[in-house]
Amino acid sequence: MSEEAKTREQICVLAKSLFDRGLTAGSTGNISVRLSDGRFIITPTGSSFGRLDPARLSLCDANMNLLQGDAPTIEVPLHSAFYETRGATTGAVVHLHSCHSVALSMLPDTDPDNMLPPITAYRVIRLGKVKLLPFFLPGDAAMGNAIRGLAGKRSAVVLANHGPVVAGKDLEAAVYSVEELEESAKLTLMTRGMNPVFLNDSQINGLVTKFDVQWDD
């Protein structure tokens, strides 16, 4: 099976797993994967993660112009910005409308520079600091400009009142990270007002050093 065929199948399998567990609903969310030849496979606009057809996924050139398949997600500028600014470290981008991360994005005391507290080791390892970006209209090219403004320093962001976007070295890594983001947001909301004990600076520094986490701004 070719790389392209394997990637098409993997996108559909992992997207359905996310959909079946309620991490995105209806026709929300989108995924892109960069192939070794620089082309992209992207989920189509208006499609449901629960019923993706491998043959109908969008095949795009290196500039994300459609070559084959259905029209890609309207969030292409968002994906493109991650690939442009993070270079070879990014092989896939996953965007969801997951409930707990969206809820956390709407609370007035959420820290926009690092919206998830250091609640677990894997929250630090998989995500680094998570930037909260302001609200944009869906498909607005300004989302891409906001990502470019981070200069590749963040692999994970949350769009206010919208949802998380995570870049990873490959699709599996990006999916694991966006799942970690949602679980961390859930834990943050569950323990809110209970004076939870987060990881301290020494523990965070130990994780950052051992696992080569991008943590500084």
Q: Which amino acid is at 181?
A: L
End-to-end CA distance of the chain: 41
Place of tokens 């026709």: 27
Is 179 among the residues known to form the active site? no
Contact 153, 214 (CB under 8 A): yes
What is the DSSP code string of 28-78? --EEEEE-TTS-EEEPBTT--GGG--GGGSEEE-TT--EEESSPBPTTHHH
The neighbour count for residue 110, using CB atoms within 10 Å, is 18
**Helices 3-20, 171-190: crossing angle, 10 deg rounding:** 20
Calpha distance 20→200 (Å, rounded): 35
* Marked catalytic residue, from 4, 122, 176, 180: 122
**Strand residue runs (E) in 52-149:** 58-60, 66-68, 92-95, 131-133
Is 83 among the residues known to form the active site? no
Phi, psi of 58 (to 5 degrees): -80, 125
* Marked catalytic residue, from 3, 4, 9, 75: 75
Contact 208, 125 (CB under 8 A): no
The residues facing 31 across adjacent strands are: 94
Q: What are the catalytic residues? A: 75, 122
